[in-house]
Structure 1
Amino acid sequence: MKTRKNNIFKEVYSDYYDLIYKRKDYRNECQRILNFLKKKKVNKVLEIGCGTCSHSIILAKENFQIVGIDSSEEMLKVAKKKILHHKVSNIQLIKGNAEKINKFIHEKFDVVLILFNVVGYLSNLESFINKIRNFLNTNSTLIFDFWHQEAIELSGPRKTTKIFKRDDSELERISQGVINSKKKIVEIKVECSIFKNKKFIGKATEVHELRYYCVDYLRKIITKNGFKIEKFEDFKTKNIGPQKKNWSAYCVAKFLG
């Protein structure tokens, strides 16, 4: 999937990223992941698309050995500062494009995490799942969240405007999406305006193309590549399947080797 941005967007967004997602309940999401991993032997975890490492830092405190990869150098700079702040030493960061993962990952893991709808950015999910088989131990676990088709096409995206304040700075973020049901893509335009002491500083724009998925399609391509589906679960509520009112859901699968 494509992401189109102007030159200042990367720096602006990485700088404000954790403020924008301050209300995201990373701790609860990590607890869900730990629940998925109950009674499983886990040591090494690979997080693909780790961003600023909010999930990885929490999981590292559970004594997992974490490797996080992300294509954004700016995000990884923020992640390194957070890792130092939290005094965790069991996270290794790698800069790289997830779809070229075989070029820089050469070890095996007990868990692969793909969170925050990173799968929506992949150009070919089936090909990607086939690649990550090479980095999984037998009986290891794949966990990812995704946007599911029924909810997306039922409710559709809406325009949102949010304002985030920090010290004497302010970020106004406007996002609006359009569905392409034929390609199963949501195209989201994000526009960020930056103010300092109420004075306009500049504007940054970005367009995301995010793919959404039918559960039956995911089941087909995952089982085809040597996995056993353990569950599809609603993102917000435990122990129930994907819901029409929530765009996001989890997939948990066991790699049979």
Structure 2
Amino acid sequence: MTGVFNDSYAATYDTVYAEKNYAAECKAVAKLITKFGRGHIRKMLDLGCGTGRHAVIFAGEGFDVTGVDQSEPMVERARDRATQMKLGANPEFLSGDIRNFSGKSPFDVAVMNFNVIGYMTGNEDALGALGAARKNLRQNGLLIADFWYGPAVVVDPPGENTREFETGDMRVVRSSSGLHLPDSQCCEITVKVTRLQGDRVLDEAPETHRVRYFFPLELELMLRVSGFQLMVLTGFPDVDAPASPRKWAAAMVAIAV
């Protein structure tokens, strides 16, 4: 990854993903918590929290949320969002690396939303993130993460896509192209976010994201090595359906042992 989630990209992030159904994703995660959670679940660790869109929804539902992200511009926007929403209990947002984050006390559930685990492209990175999640969870705590499902990526590799959004008197154009790198089990996604006023280009924010996809057996092994037991792989956000080779989006639920 080069220059990922820098100031310019963070500034347009929420506009680009304005149509993303964060509420439906939080509802799906909450459903998994209800189904697989053991004991009282209140303290949530949001690893790779971004601009806090998931975290503030969970906080509004009564969770005590701590969000962590290595992008300071994203964290600042998350803090601003929580302040503006005037929640009863504001989530705490911290700048840090999810591969070695250490919280003050054990959490009941850790979440990795929006394919955060996919940015852990090397085995050491992925195991670091899973290991840190385990260290921050109590016994029988839950880990829930959505990810790109390997069988689906292999069947239907990435292509090109362009979307346009309007915000005030500006237009935001997000173009992306994908390169499948099967030997490294990754897709290299090149994203360019362009802000325009009329025909005048205000700025452009190019990003290259290398994102990993995962297969069931390797996830089971990685989780076991990290101190978890894999409970289920589901579709996402339709968590009532199993993970499918026809859909990239999937979710895993694991319990700390």
Give TM-score scaled by structure 2 length: 0.92
- Corresponding residue of 2:128: 127
CA displacement, residues 193-215 of structure 1 (integer Å, 9 cap, x when unaligned): 22123312232211111111111
CA displacement, residues 34-58 of structure 1 (integer Å, 9 cap, x when unaligned): 1111164111100001011111111
Gaps of 5+ in 2: none
Q: CA RMSD in A?
A: 1.6
Quick check: 1:49 aligned with 2:45? no
More divergent stretch after superposition (231-240 vs 111-120): 231-240
Report how many aligned residue pairs link the two structures: 250
Matched letter for residue 97 of structure 2? N
The CA distance in 2 between the partners of 1:197 and 1:223, in whole Å, is 54
Contact 2:99 2:131 in 1 (8 A): no
- Corresponding residue of 2:19: 23
SS of the residue aligned with 2:77? Answer: helix
Percent identity over paired residues: 28
The CA distance in 1 between the partners of 2:171 and 2:8, in whole Å, is 11
- Compute the displacement of 1:236 (Å): 3.6
- Corresponding residue of 2:223: 222
The CA distance in 2 between the partners of 1:65 and 1:232, in whole Å, is 26
Give TM-score scaled by structure 1 length: 0.92
Quick check: 1:114 aligned with 2:112? yes
Runs of 4+ in 1 over 3 A off after TM superposition: none
SS of the residue aligned with 1:241? Answer: coil
SS of the residue aligned with 1:253? Answer: strand
- Corresponding residue of 1:58: 57
More divergent stretch after superposition (138-147 vs 217-226): 217-226
SS of the residue aligned with 2:2? Answer: strand
- Corresponding residue of 1:67: 66
- Compute the displacement of 1:60 (Å): 0.5
The CA distance in 2 between the partners of 1:210 and 1:109, in whole Å, is 27
SS of the residue aligned with 1:97? Answer: coil
CA displacement, residues 148-186 of structure 1 (integer Å, 9 cap, x when unaligned): 111001101010011111111111111001011111010
- Compute the displacement of 1:127 (Å): 3.2
